[in-house]
Amino acid sequence: MKLSQFKHARISQTGNLISIIHEYKRYILIKIIDCKKQIFFHKKYYNITPSSIIKYFFVKDTLIVFYTKNSMYYLDSISLKNNKLLTQRIFKTDMPNCNLFYCTDYYAITSFEKDACTREYISRVYLFKPEKIECKKITELPGIIEQIFATSKKIYLNLINSHGLKKILVLDNQKNIYELIDDYNKLSLKILDANDKYLVCSGELFDETINFIIHNDSLNFFNLSFITNNQISYAKLYNDYLCIISNKGCNDEFYIVNLKDNSSHLISNIGTNIRCVSYKNNMMFYFQCTYNSLSYCSYNLCTGDKTLIWENKHHINSIMRVENINLSERTLEIMHFYNTGKSKGTIFYLHGGPSTHFKNEYNQVCDFLSSAGYDIICLNYRGSTGYGKDFQKQIDGNWGIKEIEDVIEITKKYSSSNNILLGESYGAFLCLHSILRNPKLWKKCCMLSPFLTPLSMYNNPDFANKNLIKPQLNSKINDCDFNHFKNIDCKILIVHGTNDSVIPISESEKIVEILEHNKKNMNSDFWFIKGNFKHSLNYQSEFHFFENILISFLTQ
């Protein structure tokens, strides 16, 4: 992603302050830019690492930053006045596991730790008003508080109990705490948004997701399934209006709902929407992305008129189409990047996860590869999110079987004279076993941070999240015969970060040992490159490192 792509702007007609906070924080922590595009730095923040930021948001013309440093938590305000950055320390604490929530005229601060006797988590909630410079404890609860929403009358707490269920607790003005819904031992609830009139919730019962509205006065419920059956990823209330962003494959569905008459209007079903919607004077302001653009738009809640305020186009050397591909008894969705010049081949790109999916938004890897002259197919194989739980659960307990069938069938359907396989993380694991299953289909294969098998990961002493892998220990992929690598002519590139804490680099080293055992030669049949990065390529320098290696591999 380019720095110019992500712009998080105040909703202001005067535009006297625009903040650009780079989503992946590749260059610097914070840049504050006025309407003349003058850049101001504050050396106080140079030493804060990107991972130390917990959250940031605007309060009027002031940027609020909540971050951690040296086991302390800090809340600072940053404002731009007379071409100078002014910073003020609002709050600091050494309480463990803190989180912060802005509640209009005060802050709610949560902290949790394990009880020494019961070994259960205990959360504490504090209210902090900057003008009074006091932090007052208001309650202590069993579990971990995930989210807080405040209205003028009530505070809603989203809490995970010891059984993993999410509960909604209500704190009223009399400091009484009670459950929003009594006796729901098997229903997991979370809040999406709240105001004085309504509460927007999402519940899970027996693997079914239910999205609904609660009228605060009457406590009447109504189901949001009349609008969408897809997973709601964002909801934002404004008086009697509700904005909904639902997840539907490569493209989001973006609705506005009038809660007075329960009418809904589809605003967009192209591209993705940044989960940051603002309202002002019956106007809604939002960002919309596609693979080659970022636009900032407004929507008049009274008239239904849409206005494009500004648009930033990316000069990507391809045309992308989202295509639904019918295979035997299933349909898969791909993002197909057609190179505008003469194609050098087709790259089949597999995402990580598996619980993620490709979306219709800017992708730096696709931009780079299309500029290099390749067609690209981004495949949302079975197990990807965005297509319902049934689609996602098809690979449960049996990783690396159905997804590889999808990879092979899509490659055969779109085969060119130069098929290339590219995958990252879980996608790299699929790459490894795809070329093992069909060694003649691809000429080259690049794997970024791969692992050998679920069993290998589970037994790896450097791998921490064993509960994630445990359900996959009976997968058939664990019994594959790696001696078939003797029959592979496909050239292989393995790239792995030395600081990877998700998939240990020792997994790639195991793959190298297997390749060498099968008489494959380093630097002629395969290449193994180590990089000074973690699991993901978070910084521009890391992307350039990977791109230079990849283009050298593809063109040799």
Collapsed DSSP state (helix, strand, coil) of residue 413: helix
Q: What is the pLDDT of residue 135?
A: 79
Pairing of strands 419-424, 346-350: parallel
> Can you give the C-alpha Rg of the chain in angstroms?
25
In CATH, what number is assigned to the domain containing residue 522?
A: 3.40.50.1820
Lowest mean pLDDT across 47-51, 74-78, 148-152, 511-515: 47-51
Q: Judge whether 438 lies within some domain.
A: yes
- Amino acid in position 94: D
pLDDT tens sequence across 119-136: 889 999 998 887 766 778
pLDDT at 403: 95
Q: How confident is the model at residue 83 (pLDDT cuts 50, 70, 90)?
A: low
Beta strand spans in 459-522 (E) = 491-497
pLDDT, position 131: 72
Question: pLDDT category, 30, cuts 50, 70, 90?
Answer: very low
pLDDT, residue 50, reads: 54
Q: What is the pLDDT of residue 177?
A: 87
As a whole number of angstroms, the distance between CA 16 and CA 35 comes to 6
Let me know if residue 183 belongs to a domain: no
Q: Given a cut of 60, is residue 269 above it in pLDDT? A: yes
pLDDT beyond 70 at 16: no
Average confidence (pLDDT) over 174-197: 81
Q: What percent of the chain has pLDDT over 90?
A: 46
Report the pLDDT averaged over residues 267-293.
90
Instruction: Provide the number of structural domains found in the chain.
Output: 1
What's the pLDDT at 424? 95
Going by pLDDT thresholds of 50, 70 and 90, the confidence category of residue 297 is: very high
Residue 183 confidence (pLDDT): 61
Question: Read out DSSP for 9-51?
Answer: E---SS---EEE--TT--S-S-EEE-TT--EE--GGGTT--GG
Give the structural domain span for 361.
318-555
Is residue 502 assigned to a domain?
yes
Residue 389 lies in a domain: yes
Decide if 202 is inside a domain.
no
The verdict on residue 96 lying in a domain is no
Mean pLDDT, the chain, whole residue set: 84
Q: What is the pLDDT of residues 304-347, one digit of tens each?
A: 999 999 888 888 889 999 999 999 889 999 999 999 888 999 99
Q: Would you list the DSSP string of 423-462?
A: EETHHHHHHHHHHHHSTTS-SEEEEES--S-HHHHHH-TT
pLDDT of residue 233: 87
Minimal CA–CA distance to 229: which of 202, 259, 198, 260?
Answer: 202
Would you state the pLDDT for residue 180?
81
Q: Residue 247's pLDDT is what?
A: 85
On whether residue 149 sits in a domain, the answer given is: no
DSSP state for residue 541 in the 8-state scheme: H
Q: Is residue 432 part of a domain?
A: yes
Mutual angle of helices 540-555 and 364-371, in 10-degree steps: 40
Residue 265 has pLDDT above 80, yes or no: yes
Q: What gap in Å lies between CA 92 and CA 74, rounded to an integer?
A: 4
Residues 92-107 have a mean pLDDT of: 88
Segment among 19-33, 138-152, 285-299, 405-419 with least mean pLDDT: 19-33
pTM: 0.81
Selection from 85-99, 193-207, 346-360 with the highest mean pLDDT = 346-360
With beta carbons less than 8 A apart as the criterion, state whether 515 and 526 touch. yes
Q: According to the model, what pLDDT value does residue 553 have?
A: 94
Torsional class of 400: left (φ above 0), alpha (ψ -120 to 50), beta (otherwise): left
Q: Which two three-digit tokens encode residue 534?
A: 């973690």
CA-based torsion, 298, 104, 65, 232: positive or negative: negative
**Do 91 and 107 contact (CB within 8 A), yes or no?**
yes
Nearest residue to 6 via CA among 371, 288, 271: 288
